[in-house]
Amino acid sequence: MTSTLTALCVLLGVGFFTLLERKVLSYIQYRKGPNKVGLQGVPQPLADAAKLFTKEYVKIFFSNKSFFAYSPMFAMVIMMTLWSLYNSLYGSNLKWGILFFLAISSLNVYATLISGWASNSKYALLGSVRAVAQTISYEISMAIIILCICTAVKTFSLAHISQGSVAILVMPMIFVFWFITCLAETNRAPFDLAEGESELVSGFNIEYGGALFAFLFIAEYGSILFMSFLTSVMFFAGMMSNVIPLLPLLATLLAAFSFLWVRGTYPRMRYDQLMSLTWKAFLPISLTALVVAYLV
């Protein structure tokens, strides 16, 4: 029952997060955004969902049909599995929650690669290969940054990290690295090289439409919300959470809003700059921070 309720809340949150994104981007660009459907465009996500799930399914003749159909569902399953950690935080305490997150999140590259390969399109395959290379590269620095936090609080449990984490105070540089890594892991601007419209059309999802595209879309935005939630737990939840009970929620909303603000502010990076950033900057500095956290 709890898992079902969490899944429904995540799906509703994804829908209205897309509305927030369109509103934020529109005001950054001095326009109104969705404002025609219902009251000031509030029901717009429901209208978009109805359109996507009732759209005609177009079969790609040369695609590998079974992998083409199941890879978006696989991405959805991975995203919802990650959100099961929310139940472990406030319900049964999962002792190795951080390791569970690292294991499940690493599977997301398979959904991306299979989606591009099964489409049997050069554009989709090139976009998926670049996305997988980017994700694998940034996973390394992300894992090391997480280990820095776990070393500082001496636990792999999300519940215990949320009770004692003050990482934003003692490791502000690590927080900056973590946030940039989250942008790259979720393929968000300015690291959205997998979806560079000028050179790759729409990336690995170019051949998808209707419900299958909706599954990929929901998986992407659900992952953004989960990374915002994880940011709140690891860096903010232990600070004055007894004094301000809503602080973790506010921190999650602030982190999610930061994803949108960065997208509307910064231009897309070059691919060589993107890869150099993680291998030549984030990796050595995060390794040094891990050693320091262990010694201290």
pLDDT digits (tens, 9 = 90+) for 8-47: 989 999 999 999 999 999 999 999 889 888 888 889 999 9
Distance CA 210, CA 213 (A): 6
**pLDDT single digits (tens) 181-235:** 999 999 888 888 777 655 556 778 888 988 999 999 999 999 999 999 888 888 8
The whole-model pTM stands at: 0.91
Are 158 and 185 found together in one domain? Answer: yes
Does the pLDDT of residue 143 top 90, yes or no? yes
Are 50 and 71 found together in one domain? Answer: no
Cα-trace Rg, the chain: 19
Indicate whether 67 belongs to any domain: yes
Domain that holds residue 132: 61-295
The number of distinct structural domains making up the chain is 2
Are 31 and 149 found together in one domain? Answer: no
Indicate whether 3 belongs to any domain: no
**pLDDT single digits (tens) 79-117:** 999 998 886 665 556 778 889 999 999 999 999 999 999
Are 41 and 138 found together in one domain? Answer: no
Indicate whether 93 belongs to any domain: yes
Distance CA 255, CA 230 (A): 10
Are 36 and 173 found together in one domain? Answer: no
End-to-end CA distance of the chain: 43
Indicate whether 148 belongs to any domain: yes
Does the pLDDT of residue 245 top 80, yes or no? no
Which among 34, 54, 74 is the end of a domain?
Answer: 54
Are 50 and 97 found together in one domain? Answer: no
Looking at residue 290, its pLDDT comes to 87
How many alpha carbons fall within 13 Å on the CB side of residue 241? 18
DSSP output for 33-102? -S-SSTTTTTTHHHHHHHHHHTSPPPPPTTS-HHHHHHHHHHHHHHHHHHHHHHHHHHSS--TTHHHHHH
Indicate whether 28 belongs to any domain: yes
Which residues are CB-neighbours of 161 under 8 A, at least 6 positions away? 98, 149, 150, 153, 155, 233, 234, 237, 238
Looking at residue 175, its pLDDT comes to 86
